[in-house]
Structure 1
Amino acid sequence: MRRKLAAGNWKMNGTGTALPELEALAHGHPAPSVDILICPPATLLHRAAQTVAGSAISVGGQDCHAEVSGAHTGDISAGMLKDAGASAVILGHSERRESYAESNGTVCAKARAAMRAGLVAVICVGESLAQREAGETLDIIGGQLAGSIPDESTGENLVVAYEPIWAIGTGKVPTLEQIAEVHDFMRGQLERRFGAEVGGSVRLLYGGSVKPGNAAEIFGVPNVDGALVGGASLKAADFSPIIEALESA
C-alpha cells in the first residue's frame, strides 16, 4: 500500500516567526496515519528541522542544483539540503519552469542529484490553461513525465505532483473527472516505464488550490495519494484539516 502524503510548499514565505506553526502542526499530529512534509524557504530549513525533530513531521527543500558543489553563487546542492535536515526536495515546480526556464532535462538532472544525496524528489508536472483548452493536457504531462523523471526512480525516492498551472493560487480547481483522468494517465505511464510494481508504488499528489473545504472530495479520487499544498500549508489551522481529510480518505 502506498502511504499517503500531505506536503506543504511554503514558497517564498516565512521567517523565524513562522516556526511556531510547525510546532503546532507537530503537536496536533503526534502519530498521523499519513506522511507529513513541510518545505520552507532555505533560510528556515535547518531551524525547521530542529523544531520538528522527534516528531512525525519531515522537512524538505524547494529546489536544488544538479551539481554536488562548485562555482554556483546563490545555489544550494542536494547534499546541502540533506545536511540541513531535509528528507525531500520539490523539483520542476511550474514557477521554476516558467520563471527560470527550467527544462525537463534540467529537472531530471536535479532529481538525479537529489536521489543520489538520499532525498526524495517531489517532481511537479502540469499544463497551462491554454494547453488545457487546446486539448493538449495528456501530451504535456506525458512529455514532462518522460523527460523529468530519472531512470533510477523508485517508489522510495520519487513522488509526482500534478499541479495544473491554471489552478495554482487562483482558487480554480479542475473537476474530479479531470483530476482522475490525469492521475490515471500518470499511473499508467509510470507502470509502462518502470513495471507494475515500481510504477504502482510511486505516490501521486494533486496540487492547485487545495483547501480544507475541497480536500476530502479530491482525496476520494482514485490514484490521488495526497496533496502538495501551497498557501493553505502556511498555518497549522488551515493545513491540519487537510491532513485529517487525507487520513480519513
Structure 2
Amino acid sequence: MTQPVPLIAGNWKMNGLAAAMDEARAVAAGLGATPARVAICPPATLVERLARALAGGAVLVGGQDCHPKASGAFTGDVAAEMLADAGASLVIVGHSERRAGYGETDAVVADKARAALRAGLEPIVCVGETLAEREGGRALAVVSEQARGSLPAKLAGRDFCVAYEPVWAIGTGLTPTTPQIEEVHTAIRAVLVEMFGETGRRAPILYGGSVKPANAAEILHAAEVGGALVGGASLKAEDFLGIIRGV
C-alpha cells in the first residue's frame, strides 16, 4: 500500500502584511531535510508575492478559500483559477470558520473542492465536530458524514488531503487525546477507502487544532495522522519549524 506523504500546512488566516513574508522566508531557509511537504497559506493579498519569494524552493503556497465559480459577479471572492494564476498549488476548503461563520454546507465545500481540481489546485478539505457533538457522542458520525458530503467523486485518482479539525480545539489551547485523534482519523480513512479505493489510502489526513512544537511529535506519529494544518503557530518561523521537525 502506498503510504501518504505527510503535509504540514500553515494557515495564516486573516493575518499577515508584507513584512510577514520574512517569516515565510525564514521557514524556507531553515527547513533542511524533511520527509514532509510544507505549505503556507497566506491571505489572498500575499499569495502572488509569497509564491514569487519562495519560487524554486521546497515551501509550497496555498490559498485559504476559493469560490466555486471560475469568474463572475461575486464581489470580494477569489476563484481557484485566480489562486493558481497567482502561484498557489493548494487551497483550503471547508474550514470550520467558513462553515460556522459563512454557513458553508457540505455541498458548498464539495463544489469548492471541484473548483480546486478544475484549476489544478490540490484541495485540503476540512471536517470536524463541535464540542456539543463530541460530548453528545456523535463525533465519529458527524465527521464521517461531513467527509462523505464534502468530498466529490472527482477526487478519485487526484491529489487531495483531508484535515480533521475538532472545532472545540481550534485556538483554544485544548487538544484531543492521542486515542481520540487516532479514532477519528481511522474513521476518516475508512470513508476515504470506501469512496476512493487506492486514492483514499494514499490521501494524507491532517490534524488541525492547537498544534504546537510541544505536542507536534506525539500528534504526528499517531495512527493515520498524515500531517498537520497549523494555525497561529505557523505565523512564527521558529514555531512552525519546530512543528515540522516533529514529523
TM-score calculated relative to the size of structure 2:
0.97
**Partner SS state of residue 72, structure 1:** coil
Question: 3-state SS of the aligned residue for 1:166?
Answer: helix
8 A contact 1:31–1:56 mirrored in 2 = no
**Count of residues in correspondence between the two structures:** 245
- Give the Å deviation of 1:30: 4.4
Task: Give per-residue Cα distances to partners, 1:4-35, cap 9 Å, x unaligned.
Answer: 11100000000001011111111111443210
Q: What SS class does the counterpart of residue 239 from structure 1 fall into?
A: helix
Q: One-letter code of the match for 1:40?
A: P
Contact 1:30 1:56 in 2 (8 A): no
Matched, 1:137 2:139: yes
**Partner amino acid, structure 1, of 2:210:** S
Percent identity between the aligned chains?
56
Indicate if the aligned counterparts of 1:154 and 1:201 stay in contact, CA closer than 8 A.
no
Matches of 2:31 and 2:156 in 1, distance apart? Answer: 28
Matched letter for residue 17 of structure 1: A
Instruction: Give the equivalent residue in structure 2 for 1:120.
Output: 122
Structure 1 counterpart of 2:240: 239
Mapped contact 2:158–2:199 kept (Cα < 8 A): no
Q: Does 1:185 align with 2:191?
A: no
Are the aligned partners of 1:155 and 1:201 in contact in 2 as well (CA < 8 Å)?
no
Residue equivalent to 1:221: 222
In the alignment, residue 168 of structure 1 is paired with which amino acid? I
Helix, strand or coil: the match of 1:95?
helix
Alignment equivalent of 1:87, drawn from 75, 89, 96 = 89
2:176 match: secondary structure: coil
User: 1:157: how far off?
Assistant: 2.5
1:27 aligns with 2:29: yes
Q: Distance in 1 between matches of 2:32 and 2:98?
A: 33
**Contact 2:47–2:61 at 8 Å: present in 1 too?**
yes
Segments of 4+ moved more than 2 angstroms: 30-33, 154-157
SS at match of 2:123: strand
Instruction: For structure 2, list consecutive stretches of 5 or more residues without a partner in the other structure.
Output: none
1:2 aligns with 2:4: yes
Provide the aligned C-alpha RMSD in A.
0.9
Are the aligned partners of 1:93 and 1:124 in contact in 2 as well (CA < 8 Å)?
yes
Q: For residue 195 of structure 2, what is the amino acid of its counterpart?
A: R
Contact 1:154–1:202 (8 Å) recurs in 2? no
Alpha-carbon displacement from aligned partner over 1:155-182 (angstroms, at most 9, x marks no partner): 6421000000000000000010100000
Please give the TM-score of this superposition, normalised by the length of structure 1.
Answer: 0.96
| Structure 1: distance between partners of 2:212 and 2:244 | 10
In structure 1, the gaps of 5 or more residues are: none
Q: Equivalences for 1:147-226 in 2 at 5 Å?
A: 147-154=149-156, 156-195=158-197, 197-226=198-227
Judge conservation of contact 1:30–1:55 (CA < 8 Å) in 2: no
Distance 1:41 1:57 in 2: 16
